[in-house]
């Protein structure tokens, strides 16, 4: 009698009994490690652990069990082998997809290949793989199958030439990749952002709904990719003023407002010109077409406030209900204690002060200029921001009852950006009037000097804190590099 360890089933069974747990344990640790690092391969390893390896073990046991009963290839074993072949195909394709496309570098050929073509290649490879599996496991004549598929595909292609032609043209359009998801297109005067691309159509968000354009139609027509304009996108809009407004003053106002837009592309300057009558055109450049809408909305809002401050009639309207004698007198009364004003002083100031309003986000004053007036904040909030390289660091806030422009008294340049956080109303007191009040009241000079010192200290503290953060970052980076 042959010893059991010399039986043909013994060693395959030992391989399954001992090897399967060990392999599963190793794959479990590998999957956990990849998942912790955020590597997409953990899903592929999970497929290998949970499906491929167990089916291989089942196939080994099935072959050994059925070999003693039926020396020929039993159906059960063939079915298991077919399932294993399919799982191996899925495993290989998923692994290739992760290695080639999921982690593709931006701008590489792998990242540029449309997903539709990847799907087509995947279907073809699955079909070929299944054909090979059926040939090996079941002995199927795959040559006849491919011949039949080829002839059938030719007949179907002739029958559906009109219907399939645009789709094929669209697929070649996607392979060329004249646009991507997120790009802005101009199709026959309709502008929008590409939000979806599939086999049949391109979905474009126009802001007023989704425009669905057949991909074949897009391939057979001209369109403009607004997102590929060399880094900037031109924006232009028309405005009107009254014919009594001096054109030079209007052009300067338009350029000044557009220059302050946060969407303005770096190293570009806005331009404005009269178009005849009361019309003007202003043009500037932004970072991309997605910024056109926000930039125009902010420009129009800021222009309304700036035109009122400049006394110009935007859209032919020269009225301003905000600037009234009653509101001016109320504002003077509110700042009288701060300036130590007597009744005679208040009466004298009525002739020289003025009311102004600023929109949220507007810059009231910029660094490097000597202010010509002190602005007392009546409502709203102003943030003082310190320029630091390309950054603007918030230093402090000026609320209602406080003032900005205090260095007009000492003829010092402003160190900060004065930015309106909300709609801000101010009372503007010219420096000449402040000088007159200070000469008769030294206490006001001391108060303003204290404010100047406090603001200087705020600026110094802000710069020191930011420099400390940068130094800490450099030190940490150096330490990390040394440890590595």
Lowest mean pLDDT among 211-225, 278-292, 314-328: 211-225
Question: Residue 363 pLDDT > 60, yes or no?
Answer: yes
- Inform me whether the pLDDT recorded for 51 exceeds 80: yes
* 379 & 292 share domain: no
Nearest C-alpha neighbor of 54 from the set 79, 100, 87: 87
**Residue 341 pLDDT greater than 60, yes or no:** yes
Residue 146 CA, distance from chain mean position: 48
Q: Does residue 67 lie in a domain region?
A: yes
452 found inside a domain: yes
Residue 167 pLDDT more than 90?
no
The pLDDT confidence band at residue 372, using thresholds 50, 70 and 90, is: very high
Residues 270 and 147 in one domain: no
As a whole number of angstroms, the distance between CA 68 and CA 77 comes to 13
Q: Are 90 and 212 contained in the same domain?
A: no
In CATH, what number is assigned to the domain containing residue 443?
2.60.120.10
Mean pLDDT along residues 347-374: 93
pLDDT at 172: 64
The answer on pLDDT for 75 being more than 80 is no
Q: Is residue 369 in some structural domain?
A: yes
CB 301 within 8 A of CB 359: yes
Distance (Å, whole) CA 45 – CA 164 = 39
Which pLDDT score is estimated for 189? 78
Lookup result for tokens 């900060």: 416
CATH code, domain with 239: 3.30.70.1130
Work out the average pLDDT over 80-108: 79
- The answer on 288 and 211 residing in a single domain is no
**Would the pLDDT of 173 be above 70?**
no
420 inside domain: yes
- Position 110 scores a pLDDT of 59
Q: Are residues 98 and 142 in the same domain?
A: yes
**Whole-number pLDDT of residue 147:** 66
Whether 289 and 307 map to the same domain: the answer is yes
CATH of residue 199's domain is 2.30.30.60
pLDDT at 320: 84
Q: Count of residues for the chain? A: 484
**Of 129, 159, 189, which one is at a domain's C-terminal end?**
159
Domains in the chain: how many in total?
4
State whether 356 and 449 are in the same domain.
Answer: yes
* Residues 452, 343 share a domain: yes
Q: Which residue has the higher pLDDT, 482 or 64?
A: 64
Q: Is the pLDDT reported for residue 359 higher than 90?
A: yes
Q: Strand, coil or helix: what is 277?
A: coil
Instruction: Tell me the average pLDDT across 169-182.
Output: 69
Q: What is the pLDDT of residue 161?
A: 47
Residue 254 lies in a domain: yes
3-state secondary structure of 108: coil
The strand pair at 381-388 and 354-358 is best described as: unpaired
Q: Which range among 93-97, 146-150, 395-399 has the greatest average pLDDT?
A: 395-399
Q: Domain limits at 207?
A: 179-225
112, 127, 159 - which closes a domain: 159
Q: Are residues 304 and 338 in the same domain?
A: no
Pair type for strands 363-365 and 201-205: unpaired
Domain end point (choices 159, 192, 211): 159
pLDDT attached to residue 325: 92
Instruction: Identify whether 173 is part of a domain.
Output: no
Q: Residue holding tokens 């300036």?
A: 339
- Residue 24, pLDDT > 70, answer yes
pLDDT of residue 44: 86
The pLDDT of residue 171 is above 70? no
Q: What's residue 334's pLDDT?
A: 93
- Please tell me whether residues 213 and 310 are part of one structural domain: no
Residues 14 and 141 grouped into a single domain: yes
- Which pLDDT value is given to residue 484? 33
Share of the chain above pLDDT 70, in %: 81
- The SS3 call for residue 139 is coil
Rounded to whole angstroms, the Cα distance separating 158 from 372 reads 81
The pTM score is 0.62
- 337 located within any domain: yes
Average pLDDT over residues 364-392: 93
Q: What is the mean pLDDT of the chain?
A: 82
Both 13 and 142 in one domain: the answer is yes
pLDDT digits (tens, 9 = 90+) for 218-276: 777 778 787 776 667 889 999 999 999 999 999 999 999 999 999 998 888 999 999 98
Mean predicted confidence (pLDDT) in 69-91: 79
Residue 22 carries which DSSP code?
H
Among 77-91, 94-108, 359-373, 459-473, top mean pLDDT goes to: 359-373
Q: Classify residue 474: in a domain, yes or no.
A: no
Question: Does the pLDDT of residue 113 top 80, yes or no?
Answer: no
| pLDDT score, position 143 | 67
pLDDT of residue 430: 94
For 186-200, write each residue's pLDDT tens digit: 887 788 888 887 767
């Amino acid at each position: 009698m042959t010893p059991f360890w010399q039986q043909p089933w013994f060693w395959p069974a030992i391989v399954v009994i001992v090897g399967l747990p060990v392999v599963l344990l190793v794959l479990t640790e590998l999957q956990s490690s990849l998942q912790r690092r955020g590597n997409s391969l953990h899903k592929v390893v999970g497929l290998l652990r949970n499906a491929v390896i167990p089916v291989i073990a089942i196939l080994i046991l099935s072959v050994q069990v059925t070999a003693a009963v039926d020396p020929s290839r039993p159906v059960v074993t063939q079915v298991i082998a077919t399932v294993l072949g399919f799982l191996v195909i899925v495993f290989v394709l998923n692994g290739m997809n992760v290695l080639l496309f999921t982690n593709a570098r931006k701008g590489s050929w792998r990242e540029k290949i449309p997903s539709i073509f990847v799907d087509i290649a995947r279907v073809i490879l699955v079909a070929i793989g299944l054909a090979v599996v059926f040939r090996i496991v079941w002995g199927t004549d795959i040559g006849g199958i491919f011949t039949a598929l080829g002839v059938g595909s030719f007949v179907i292609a002739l029958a559906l030439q009109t219907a399939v032609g645009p789709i094929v043209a669209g697929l070649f359009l996607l392979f060329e990749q004249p646009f991507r998801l997120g790009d802005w297109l101009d199709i026959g005067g309709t502008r929008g952002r590409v939000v979806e691309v599939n086999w049949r159509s391109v979905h474009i968000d126009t802001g007023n709904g989704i425009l669905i354009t057949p991909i074949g139609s897009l391939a057979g027509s001209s369109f403009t990719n607004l997102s590929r304009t060399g880094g900037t996108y031109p924006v232009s809009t028309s405005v009107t003023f009254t014919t009594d407004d001096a054109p030079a003053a209007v052009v300067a106002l338009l350029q000044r407002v557009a220059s302050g837009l946060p969407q303005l592309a770096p190293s570009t300057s806005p331009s404005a010109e009269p178009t005849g009558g009361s019309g003007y055109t202003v043009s500037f450049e932004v970072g991309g077409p997605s910024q056109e809408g926000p930039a125009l909305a902010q420009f129009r809002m800021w222009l309304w406030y700036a035109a009122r401050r400049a006394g110009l009639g935007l859209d032919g309207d020269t009225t301003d209900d905000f600037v009234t004698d009653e509101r001016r007198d109320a504002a003077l009364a509110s700042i009288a204690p701060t300036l130590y004003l007597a009744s005679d002083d208040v009466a004298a100031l009525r002739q020289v002060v003025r009311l102004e309003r600023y929109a949220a986000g507007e810059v009231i004053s910029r660094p490097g200029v000597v202010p010509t007036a002190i602005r007392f904040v009546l409502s709203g909030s102003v943030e003082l921001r310190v320029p630091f390289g390309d950054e603007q660091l918030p230093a402090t806030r000026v609320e209602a009852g406080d003032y900005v422009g205090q260095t007009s008294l000492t003829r010092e340049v402003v160190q900060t950006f004065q930015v309106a956080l909300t709609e801000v109303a101010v009372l503007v007191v010219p420096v000449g009037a402040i000088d007159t009040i200070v000469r008769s009241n030294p206490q006001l000079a001391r108060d303003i000097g204290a404010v100047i010192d406090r603001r200087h200290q705020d600026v110094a503290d802000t710069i020191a804190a930011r420099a400390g953060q940068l130094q800490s970052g450099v030190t940490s980076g150096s330490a990390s590099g040394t440890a590595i």
